[in-house]
Amino acid sequence: MNLAVNGERLLQRLEELAEIGAIVGADGDRGSARLALTAEDGQGRDLVVKWMRDLGLDISIDGVGNVIATMPHPSGLSPVMTGSHIDTVATGGRFDGNLGVLAGLEVIESVMSAGDELDRPLAVGFFTDEEGARFPPDMLGSLVYAGGMTVEEALDIRAVDGARFGDELESIGYAGGAPSPGPAPHAFVELHIEQGPVLEVEDIKIGAVTGVQGISWTKVTLRGQSNHAGTTPMSMRKDPAAALFTIGAELQRIVERIGEPQVGTIGRVELVPNLVNVVPASATFTVDVRHTDDETLINVEREVAALIEEVAAQHGLLVETESLARFAPVVFDDRVVEIVERSAQQRELSVKRMPSGAGHDAQMLARVCPSAMVFTPSVRGISHNPAEITADEDLIAGCQVLCDVMLELAGTTFEEAK
Ligand code: GLV
Ligand code: MN
Ligand code: MN
């Protein structure tokens, strides 16, 4: 089936959803802030669910608020599923996650309007709390969908602002009754912006994503002795901030020594009491390290843990650490990657196989069905920032490739294709 998606309709929906929780960045860029399970997330959900209902899709909502909308179909067969997330970081752009959900809706609307019968249904979902910025870990909803965490465990998770996941989910009205883990789809494919610079720099239109690098998040708290900043001699301090800055500088050195694709980030820091003339009582910070090779990642985690212990001991501090997220690297199904690559070529779009630096819901669905992803270029590689931009033509091209891939997957019997 050669079906053209309606690019204008996709762009309009992206605009409309971006208005919910709209923010303006430092340079006047328009972004969105819909942290998971906030009122804004709830309003965004209501809008997308309304669009799903308008199309007559069967909607299921599970115990962590994952929403899956499936095309009615006489076969009763498992669907080809797409989807992503509509929660954002607090400084979010308009496309991260939203593109994958609304492109999926667009594919389904195009297929239903064309009236052609597929061998099996299509489905589009949005998974709760992909970002993990409020409730760690990231990809929490899709992790539960794929059976990697129970609903009960998820409901008891505390946000960085202290709120309980289950209470916040109730308050936005998205605690549903659909079973968890969710039913395994026939296959899963997710369209996402690259969120990095590679496609733009190499002037390539489509990324056929081969896998996702391993992710490790740790929360560290260093406790010392709060005291007067003017009277306490340097040699007599137990200063958690001084230790934190040494750890930060050393982390950079470790990451640079290992080289690409190793990355390391201290993204969140809290000093208590955070005052100009007070040696802090505590420093709490997060360490995010990622690599495509799990061995390397394990070694980096060990090295960073030893570094933290050593520096804390030098400063006479107590250390508490908590793992917030740990996901091994994921390799996508080569048969699906091959379909993505071929679909791009058939549309005469340049295409490159590449790994993903960011975490995605597809990496969780890969546990239960053949999965892969389609990337579309990010201008200047900027993301998690209101300045996140993808050109309209690239958004539409990505949606078109998603459509072609989903239609092909609907006719693919994986056992035979092996
Ligand atoms: C989540 O999306 C991440 O990659 O941090
Ligand atoms: Mn995302
Ligand atoms: Mn993101």
Report how far ligand 2's centroid is from the alpha carbon of 36 (Å): 12
**Average of pLDDT values for 41-47?**
98
CA angle 91, 264, 218 (to 5 degrees): 80
71 has a pLDDT exceeding 80:
yes
Residue 233, Cβ neighbours under 10 Å: how many?
A: 6
Residue 346, Cβ neighbours under 10 Å: how many?
A: 12
Are 363 and 212 contacting, i.e. CB atoms less than 8 angstroms apart? yes
Residues with CB under 6 A from ligand 1: 130-131, 138, 358-359
The matching CATH number, chosen from 3.40.50.2000, 3.30.930.10, 3.40.190.80, 3.30.70.360, for 214-327 is 3.30.70.360
Q: Which of 131, 190, 193, 286, when mutated, tests ligand 1's pocket best, judged by the most ligand atoms within 8 Å of its CB?
A: 131
Which residue is it, tokens 């409730």? 135
pTM recorded for the entire structure: 0.96
The whole-angstrom separation of Cα 77 and Cα 65 is: 23
What pLDDT does 93 receive? 97
Which residue is it, tokens 């009960």? 152
Q: Are strands 122-126 and 269-272 parallel, antiparallel or unpaired?
A: unpaired
Report how far ligand 1's centroid is from the alpha carbon of 34 (Å): 15
**Where are the domains positioned within the chain?**
7-212+329-417, 214-327
Query: How many CA atoms are closer than 13 Å to the CA of 187, on its beta-carbon side?
Result: 28
106: nearest Cα among 371, 396, 409, 408: 396
For domain 7-212+329-417, which architecture applies? 3-Layer(aba) Sandwich (3.40)
What pLDDT does 88 receive? 98
Q: Which of 95, 215, 217, 286, when mutated, tests ligand 1's pocket best, judged by the most ligand atoms within 8 Å of its CB?
A: 215
CA distances to 67, 100, 213, 257, 322 from 297, rounded to whole Å, are 33, 29, 10, 13, 17
Report how far ligand 3's centroid is from the alpha carbon of 239 (Å): 34
Peptide bond into 370 cis (omega under 30): no
Query: How confident is the model over 132-162, as pLDDT tens digits?
Result: 999 999 999 999 999 999 999 999 999 999 9
What pLDDT does 415 receive? 76
Tokens read off for 384? 């998690």
* Amino acid (one-letter) located at 265: T
Report how far ligand 1's centroid is from the alpha carbon of 308 (Å): 24
The whole-angstrom separation of Cα 320 and Cα 222 is: 7
Q: Is 390 helix (H, G, I), strand (E, B) or coil?
A: coil
Ligand nearest to the CA of 83: 2
Report how far ligand 2's centroid is from the alpha carbon of 27 (Å): 22
Atom of ligand 1 nearest to the CA of 358: 4
What pLDDT does 2 receive? 85
Report how far ligand 1's centroid is from the alpha carbon of 282 (Å): 27
What pLDDT does 417 receive? 43
Per-residue pLDDT band for 249 (boundaries 50, 70, 90) equals very high
What pLDDT does 362 receive? 98
**Average of pLDDT values for 32-43?**
98
> What does the DSSP assignment read for 216-228?
EEEEEEEE---EE
Average pLDDT value over all residues in the chain: 97
Ligand nearest to the CA of 385: 3
The whole-angstrom separation of Cα 111 and Cα 118 is: 9
CA distances to 35, 47, 55 from 131, rounded to whole Å, are 8, 20, 28
Q: For 284, phi and psi rounded to 5 degrees?
A: -115, 130
